[in-house]
Amino acid sequence: MPVLHLHLLSDSTGETLEMIAKAALAQFDEADIQRHFWPMVRSKQHLDRIVPDLAANPGLVLFTLVNDETRARLEEHCRILGLPAVPVLDAVTAALEDHLGQEAHGRPGRQHAMDEAYFARVEAIQYTIAHDDGVGHEDWEEADIVLAGVSRSSKTPTSIYLANRGYKVANIPLVVESPPPRELFKLRRPLVVGLTTAPERLVQVRRNRLLSIAEGRETSYADAERVAEEVRFARRMFADNDWPVIDVTRRSIEETAAAVIRLYSERAHRSTPPVVGPKPI
């Protein structure tokens, strides 16, 4: 399969563009992609310095450029070079303009403005890092979400992903010999979610973990019977406390986080009091 040169041009950090490209590429098996990433393209001069690479590595150009002159210049270069250029947000922006009845602001990096939401996300990340792996249980009540599960059930990466979405997350490993702190069972504000996985998959993950840290001695950490017992222990705890459970066996971190967010949103919706109209006279 020939190499596809994928050029990503953004007038901001390029985070949005990279996520869109990643999501689209996931639909294609064994695609040989070479990415060329160009963030903060905010002038015609900057763009002109990129053109030689476009010419040397012809392929597909995806861009998010809101400045009319810059994007027109890119489109003209791509036309001359015979390269397809796709403005990935245009269709969504046009639909929003149509439904909202207003014109979009052509302001580069607007979605990354240091507004209240930005600082809330920073606070969420700081909280989540400080409450990883069972630390800081005294103030778990401040969390939005608490993830519980046995070791290597994706608690930490899922927590960090959720924190980047603005959620304060604490997580705790469930260990048969060491009961969780009592605070876990008294939480009212946070949504507690149990993460579980197939024991055989967990054994493989743990064995790989031991190899990565050059741990060669015999240990029950990756023993099949021991792992199955841990998973049963965690599942009983989830059931006894009526916590929602997500099986992460075949889920990516993004898919697990999306499932957690859906549970969180559903609970928030249920807890919102209904709007009561005026009583009839």
State pLDDT tens for residues 229-262.
Answer: 999 999 999 999 999 999 999 999 999 999 999 9
Residue 240: what pLDDT?
97
Which pair of structure tokens corresponds to residue 122?
Answer: 């920073």
The backbone region for 27, taken as left when phi is positive above 0, alpha when psi lies in -120 to 50, beta otherwise, is alpha
Residue 109: what pLDDT?
53
Q: Mean pLDDT, to the nearest integer, of 204-233?
A: 85
Answer whether 166's CB lies under 8 Å from 127's CB: no
Q: Mean pLDDT, to the nearest integer, of 176-180?
A: 93
Does 252 count as an annotated binding residue?
Answer: no
Does 156 count as an annotated binding residue?
Answer: yes
Does 227 count as an annotated binding residue?
Answer: no
Does 154 count as an annotated binding residue?
Answer: yes
Does 22 count as an annotated binding residue?
Answer: no
- Structural domains of the chain, with CATH: 4-111 (3.40.50), 116-271 (3.40.50)
Tell me: the pLDDT tens digits for 145-171? 999 999 999 999 999 999 988 999 999
| Rounded Cα–Cα distance for residues 221 and 165 (Å) | 32
**pLDDT at residue 275 greater than cutoff 50:** no
Task: Give the predicted TM-score (pTM) of the model.
Answer: 0.62
Q: What counts of helices (H) and strands (E) characterise the chain?
A: 9, 8
Half-sphere exposure of 202 (CA within 13 A, CB side): 26
Does 212 count as an annotated binding residue?
Answer: no
Q: Mean pLDDT, to the nearest integer, of 56-65?
A: 94
Q: Which of 9-23, 75-89, 143-157, 246-260 has the lowest mean pLDDT?
A: 9-23
